[in-house]
Structure 1
Amino acid sequence: MDLNGHNKHEETTTLGLMKLKCSVQNYDWGRVGYESSVAKLFESNSGGEIDEKKHYAEFWMGTHVSGPSFLDDGGNVSLKSWLMQNPKVLGDVVVNKWGHDLPFLLKVLSVGRSLSIQAHPDKELAGLLHKLQPNVYKDANHKPEMALALTEFEALCGFISSEELDAVLETVPEIKEVVGDAYADQIVTFNNHNGEVKEEQVLRSVFTKLMSVDRNVISKALSRLINRLNSEKETRQLTRKEELVLKLEMQYPDDVGVLAALLLNLVRLEPGDGLYIGANEPHAYLNGECIECMAASDNVVRAGLTPKYIDVKILCSMLTYKQGLPEILKGVSLNPYVRRYTPPFEEFEVDRCMLDQGASVVFPALPGPSVFVVISGEGSMHTSSSEDMVSEGAALFAPAGVEVRVTTESELHFYRAGVNNKVLLNF
């Protein structure tokens, strides 16, 4: 028998939703106390006491060892161990492709200051890094991810275009002083070979040189840059990037990531906008709150804007060096209340649901599992065998093969994460 009194060999459609108690991460870049939505969600979900002086960064829903969820049934059974004992709730597609575990991890993030400039390794590199440094790289999986803005949200994502790179090196002498020779050599080679040397190689040279320079050189260049910008803002309006440089330097003094930010795209998302990030793509979340979904991994390679362990050599060698603005996802409307965001990754997709007063919506039975999280409001989630009252902070696991109907007498804002539908339908 399972924890709900069902025989674990019964069809999954006889199971209802499983309420979850979830984990919180108190990283330094998180928002403090009740300024953080993560803190409020965690308090409502677990009943844990919130420390007004503590940073609350991430609310995790899933099975990853760094922040596991537990069944909210009065016991101490993790979702991961329950899935191992009841693999049918995952559905045949997931079991055959990923084994007896949830292939995705759902989070809510409250970003108070910039995260590190980072990238996530592909599967091959993740396996190697985990083998070499298991204490730093906690698993052997890749970590493609997607962020959906809950508030206005800012991020650095991907490299600027070649034209913008030329402009930066022309108008920011402090960067040119650090990487100018490497860039000039590449440009000469590029021109002499009539374009045989790819623009990517020019960018790789510039970025690698910048990230590898001695900290004292960076400190002096940053000092000149900050002094110049503070002087110039008395007579002109600074650009968004220049304002960002001043802000980042206050957060991370003498950090090479402040200069590196000038080589990355500054992206602003409105609530409901989505941004996906593939393996080996540089990025840094800057400010705001979001839903984040990813493959079930916690692997991060860092090289700036952080006091944590950095690995410049690995980061510079692994990046794709693609240039240009990233795609902003607006979602596809499934009905008046639900928009679906489908990244080009197999492990996950996310539905955003905004139910009006008195409205209802049905999530059809799928061949794979889902995880729901309620951001605000109150309502009910019904299956053929259960009814659960839900409100802010509620997190629930839905087995494969279970239809979920959601109703509300007020308003209800929630998200559903599940395996990418294209995988479920085409397996």
Structure 2
Amino acid sequence: MQRLTGPIRPYDWGSHEVIARVQGRDFPTAEPEAELWLGAHPADPATVDGRGLDAVIAGDPDAELGATVVRRFGAKLPFLLKLLAAQRPLSLQVHPNLAQAAAGFEAEEAAGVPVDAPQRRYKDANHKPEMLVAVGRTQALAGFADDATVFLRKLQWPPGLGWADRLEAGDLHGVVSDILRGAPDFDDLADLCAAEGSARALAIADLAARYPGDPGVLVAMLLNHVELSPGDAIYLAAGSPHAYLRGAGVEIMAASDNVLRGGLTSKFVDVDELLRILAFEPGPPPVVTPVSAGPSTVRWPTPTAEFTLYEITVGGSPVALPAVGSPRVLFCLEGEVRAADLSLRGGESAWSPASDPELTARGTGRLFVATVGG
């Protein structure tokens, strides 16, 4: 096992406090700090002894990942772990499934669209299912809501009442398409939402004030509003529209950087492609309940093969680290935890290759362990 050093992405929606506080650095920071990346994605790999984790893995894939993982996913780490810290809303976005990502990437490569071009939609050929486990109070929009008609009728906003009728007739696709292609004026929406007063309405009021004229605000009215306490989690499958509004969480995903945006942003929005990728399947909030995975250990089950996430509460007796024989990224959220001959404090991480022997954690703290799915 070796110490892992992850880069911090300074997106403008990031916090000036959260990541620095976890890592024990001075804050507020000069730049926003949005995501701490702990993985081998070529866009920004973490490092081991100054070498990119992607290069370390490429040097001996079977030892680093294990032969089974190499056969399933190739000679690359199939997941990416992040610490995400949002001070203000992220863009409304959706991620493609595996077939859509592969086809989209191939088409844009053939067309010669540079990977860093603003209009580039597919940065790689992988899908990006993801899960976020809150480590502070977090608000998000996640998936089309099955009670959107109830919310729209409570607001009594005239365009929304018309949408409610169409939603009840099963025309979710048509409503979203009309919003994205020609959103009505909504200068009065923030006041109506503030008067309604629910957490969901207040979130829409805030978005309306931040993004005047952005059709993403109106799409947000059709989504589940989710409030997460520490330890709560949401899982976002391919095609599920979502946006983190504020808060912090440990996020794990298939190793991809594919994002199609639908609003709440000044960045490129491709309405036709977005409508093709979106899954128009209303449902309840996609909350994931943790299950016991051994002494002092929980995991959040998902249907994704690329990743599994565990949390270990270390204190008193040593705790065996799960998933021996698989590649693992360890991330200490707080306290001080020792495994093998390495001590991890809050905000520090480690790489444990598949060739590592069975390991135990000692000390006092909270340790996340990311590995490949079962």
1:393: Cα distance to partner? Answer: 1.9
Question: Could you tell me which of 113, 128, 131 is aligned with 1:146?
Answer: 131
CA spacing shift, 1:264–1:184, aligned 2, 3 Å: closer
Deviates more, 1:333-342 or 1:165-174: 165-174
1:40: Cα distance to partner? Answer: 4.0
User: Which protein is bigger by CA-based radius of gyration?
Assistant: 1
CA spacing shift, 1:401–1:317, aligned 2, 3 Å: same
Which residue is 2:186 aligned to?
222
Deviations, residues 175-201 of structure 1 (Å, cap 9, x unaligned): 348xx4x876787xx5xxxxxxxx3xx
1:391: Cα distance to partner? Answer: 0.8
Matched, 1:69 2:54: no
Deviates more, 1:167-176 or 1:331-340: 167-176
Secondary structure of 1:100's aligned partner:
coil
Residue 212 of structure 1 aligns with an amino acid whose one-letter code is R
Which residue is 1:126 aligned to?
101
Matched, 1:112 2:87: yes
Q: Distance in 1 between matches of 2:297 and 2:328?
A: 15
Q: 1:295-314 maps to which residues of 2 (within 5 A)?
A: 295-314=254-273
- Which structure's residues are more often helix, by fraction? 1
Question: Could you tell me which of 180, 185, 203 is aligned with 1:211?
Answer: 180
TM-score (norm 1): 0.79
TM-score (norm 2): 0.90
Residue 63 of structure 1 aligns with an amino acid whose one-letter code is A
Structure 1 unaligned spans of 5+: 1-16, 191-198, 422-427
Q: Distance in 2 between matches of 1:365 and 1:420?
A: 9
Residue 20 of structure 2 aligns with an amino acid whose one-letter code is A
Which residue is 1:79 aligned to?
53
Note if contact 2:84-2:249 (Cα within 8 Å) is conserved in structure 1.
yes
Residue 240 of structure 1 aligns with an amino acid whose one-letter code is A
Which residue is 2:226 aligned to?
267
1:334: Cα distance to partner? Answer: 2.2
Aligned length: 362
CA spacing shift, 1:66–1:174, aligned 2, 3 Å: farther
CA spacing shift, 1:52–1:183, aligned 2, 3 Å: closer
Note if contact 1:23-1:59 (Cα within 8 Å) is conserved in structure 2.
yes
Which residue is 1:25 aligned to?
9
Note if contact 1:113-1:251 (Cα within 8 Å) is conserved in structure 2.
no
Matched, 1:58 2:16: no
Q: Distance in 1 between matches of 2:151 and 2:330?
A: 45
Secondary structure of 1:60's aligned partner:
strand
Q: Distance in 1 between matches of 2:73 and 2:285?
A: 29
Note if contact 1:183-1:206 (Cα within 8 Å) is conserved in structure 2.
no
Residue 342 of structure 2 aligns with an amino acid whose one-letter code is D
Secondary structure of 1:143's aligned partner:
coil
1:156: Cα distance to partner? Answer: 0.6
Secondary structure of 1:223's aligned partner:
coil
Residue 324 of structure 2 aligns with an amino acid whose one-letter code is L
Secondary structure of 1:55's aligned partner:
coil
Q: Distance in 1 between matches of 2:204 and 2:192?
A: 12
CA spacing shift, 1:79–1:325, aligned 2, 3 Å: same
Q: Distance in 1 between matches of 2:197 and 2:166?
A: 31
Percent identity over the alignment is 33
Q: Distance in 1 between matches of 2:177 and 2:150?
A: 16
Note if contact 2:140-2:242 (Cα within 8 Å) is conserved in structure 1.
yes
Matched, 1:404 2:359: yes
Matched, 1:417 2:370: yes
Which residue is 1:160 aligned to?
145
1:365: Cα distance to partner? Answer: 5.6
State the Cα RMSD in Å. 2.2
Matched, 1:394 2:371: no
Q: Distance in 2 between matches of 1:397 and 1:152?
A: 28
Deviations, residues 36-72 of structure 1 (Å, cap 9, x unaligned): 2x2345676xxxx97723111000011112221111x
1:275: Cα distance to partner? Answer: 0.9
Matched, 1:281 2:240: yes
CA spacing shift, 1:42–1:307, aligned 2, 3 Å: farther
Q: Distance in 1 between matches of 2:268 and 2:248?
A: 25
1:86: Cα distance to partner? Answer: 1.2
Q: Distance in 1 between matches of 2:21 and 2:43?
A: 21
Q: Distance in 2 between matches of 1:259 and 1:172?
A: 14
Note if contact 2:136-2:248 (Cα within 8 Å) is conserved in structure 1.
yes
Q: 1:223-262 maps to which residues of 2 (within 5 A)?
A: 223-229=187-193, 233=195, 238-262=197-221
Q: Distance in 1 between matches of 2:167 and 2:298?
A: 45
Q: Distance in 2 between matches of 1:303 and 1:327?
A: 20
Structure 2 unaligned spans of 5+: none
Deviations, residues 207-258 of structure 1 (Å, cap 9, x unaligned): 1111111xxx54xx2212224445xx3xxx5122221122112322221122
Matched, 1:366 2:311: no
Q: 1:167-178 maps to which residues of 2 (within 5 A)?
A: 168=152, 171-176=155-160
Note if contact 2:141-2:226 (Cα within 8 Å) is conserved in structure 1.
yes
